[in-house]
Structures are given as C-alpha cells and as structure tokens.
Structure 1
Amino acid sequence: MALKATVFKVQLQIADMDRHYYADHSLTLAQHPSENDERMMVRLLAFAINANDSLQFTKGLSSESEQAELWDLALDGTINLWIEFGQADEKWLRKACNKALQVQLFCYGGRVVPIWWKNNSAALARYQNLTILDIPENAVTAMAALVNRNMSLQCNISEGQIWLSDANQSVLIEPIKLK
C-alpha cells in the first residue's frame, strides 16, 4: 500500500518591499512521503519570493509528467516561471530552460552545494534564463523548526534579506546567488 502525502495548511502574509508586493495567501502544501520538512519549507520560501496570483504548486514529486514543482503558468499555456529544487542535473535544467521564459533552481544541502556547483557551473553558464540560488544550511534547518500542520507565517523581504516568522520565532534567510 502506497503512503499518502501529509497535508499542511499555511496562512502566509507576504510583504516584499523589493517588488512592492503585499498579499495574504492561503496555501495547502502536500508533503510527499519521501520529502523532509526542510525541502517543503524551501518550496514555501520559493513561493514567497516569487508570489503572484498565477504562481501555483504542481503535483511535484507525485507527478510522472515533465512539469515544474512550482510554476507561473499563463492562461495561454506559456510557462513564465519554472522553479526546481535541490541539485538538478544539467539535462533536466536544459529541458526547463527550453520550455519556460525564466527558470529558478533553489539549491540547499549545505556542503554538497559547492561541490555540485563546481561540477555544473560551466555547463549551466550558457542558459541565460536560469537563476540559481543557494539557501544556507542553517537557514533551512531553522525554517524546518517552523513546521506545523497549521502554519501562520509572515514573510518580509527587503534588500535581499528574507525574514520568515511565526508567533514564536523568526528566521533570517539570505540566499546566495550562484547564477
């Protein structure tokens, strides 16, 4: 019998001073049985950084089709933004860059990211529509401490710094732009 996803409800208030975007979002996050809290929170962070009315989570790990885990899909089917997570291989990112106007990769994992980047930076340099961000390991661990089945979070973004907070604690996240 297959394990089912765990469902998390999130009330997310975003104040993004860099983009002048201010909105409240009611989200339902499905955590795949193979996904840990850290990865799920990086997905939520990516949503907060790119939030708009057409940004949506897909079936992600549960999908067998070739689609992003998070994307901004226009009404005409154009993929405005394709977002991936982890240390993706060049072949997969090439497909994403050919399908979408913009692609973002959110890397996390601490010490493995610089090794992955050293091995892949030359091949990925040619993709003009690709942005790669490394989320520091300490921030990812701290975000995982915010996980609760019903989360009420505030996200404040200003000058590249991101504060993610609940009623009890705040986490400073400073993504490192690799590309």
Structure 2
Amino acid sequence: MAIGATIHTFTVQLSDVDRGVYDELNLRVARHPSETAPYMLTRVLAYCLEYEEGIAFSEGVAATDEPAVMVKDMTGALVAWVEVGAPDAARLHTGSMKAERVAVYTHRDPDKVAAAWAGKRIHRADEVRLHSFEPGFVERLSEAIERRNTATLTRTEGRVYLELNGASGDSEIFSRSAD
C-alpha cells in the first residue's frame, strides 16, 4: 500500500454477460494522494472488465515497474499487463515483452492517448488493446465515489452499465489496437 494512500472499498456485483463472468467482488483500492477520482474509477473498471482468476491491483500510480492491474497464472507467471490512463510507449513495450496480453483502459481521449505512441517502439503493438468509454462517463460517475462503495456493473453487447452509490450511467466500450 502506498504511503499516505486513502483506502476505498468497493463491493461490486459483476455481470459480464459478454464473457460469461458473474461474481461479487470485494475490492480494497489504495488511492494515492496524486491520483484523481476518474483515474481510480478507471482502475476499478479495468479490474472488473478484465476479471479472472489471478487478477490483482498493483500499487497504482506508486508502482513504477508494474501495471495498474495484472493477472498471474497459478505458477506466478504474468499473463496480462493492464495499464490505466495514458501510459507511455515504453511501459507498453515492457508489458508486451513480459505478458501474453496487454490492455489499456483510459478515461481520456483515446485518439490523443494513441497519438503519443505513434512512431514509438511497442512490442506486438497490433495486439495491445486500447479500451475507452464515451466522453464524460467516467468523470460523471467518479463524483459518486465515497470511502465505502456499492456498485453493480454489467457488460453486455459491448456496453457497460454502472450503478455506483445510487448514481448510474452507461457507455459503449470502444476497443482498438495500439498501432
């Protein structure tokens, strides 16, 4: 846990119809003082939308050599490297060298995020997936974040529906390769 971090808890009823994943998640998320609410909510969304056995948060913005979210198999091998926000090309290159799968979830303009990678070396760039949401979706719902949170997250037919502490919204999930 990062020094000076605020702990937020999220109880999430997850129904990922697109992947056939249904579970109740009890998450403890350490929010670094420099981390914005939209960034933290994007981390939670990435965790939920990538949820599988072996998934874990890193230390968030305090982690320099790990992604925001990672998945390890039963042997401890890194299976998925999941970044949040607008990581630089070097982090994606490193992640793509270390893990079978790399994904980025952003609450920012995906065109600007991808433009920063143009012409830069990213191992298997065509396999790196950039996921984004409709403008304002994450920002609006991040205003509902409290220290203890209750959420219902449903993904179906490429859309995410989120109810967080009584606030609700939905968004298409846009996906494309990093190159």
Task: Return the TM-score normalized by structure 2.
Answer: 0.88
In the alignment, structure 2 segments of 5+ residues that lack a partner are none
Q: Which amino acid aligns with 1:115?
A: K
**Displacement after TM superposition at 1:137 (Å):** 3.0
Unaligned runs of 5+ in 1: none
Superimposed CA distance per residue, residues 149-169 of structure 1 (whole angstroms, 9 cap, x where no aligned partner): 110100011011000103522
Number of equivalenced pairs: 175
Letter of the 1:23 counterpart: D
Q: How far is 1:146 from its partner?
A: 2.4
After TM superposition, where is structure 1 displaced by more than 4 Å over at least 4 residues in a row? Answer: 121-126
Which residue in the other structure is 1:173 paired with? 171
d(CA) in 1 for partners of 2:105, 2:97 = 18
Aligned to 2:143: 145
Question: What code does the residue aligned with 1:159 have?
Answer: E
Structure 1 range deviating more: 51-60 or 167-176: 167-176
Cα 1:167–1:7, aligned 2, differ >3 Å: closer, same or farther? closer
CA separation of 1:168 and 1:60: change in aligned 2, threshold 3 A: closer
> In 2, Cα distance between the equivalents of 1:133 and 1:121?
17
Q: With structure 1 as the length reference, what TM-score do the two structures score?
A: 0.88
Match of 1:115 in 2: 112
Give distance in 2, aligned partners of 1:101 and 1:117: 21
> In 2, distance between residues paired with 1:45 and 1:159?
16
Matched to 1:156, the amino acid is T
What pairs up with 1:4-153 in 2 under 5 angstroms? 4-64=4-64, 66-110=65-109, 113-121=110-118, 123=120, 124=122, 126-153=124-151
Q: 1:126 Cα shift? A: 4.3
| Structure 1 CA distance for aligned equivalents of residues 59 and 168 of structure 2 | 29
1:42-74 CA-to-partner distances (Å, cap 9, x unmatched) read 00100110112311111122234x111111111
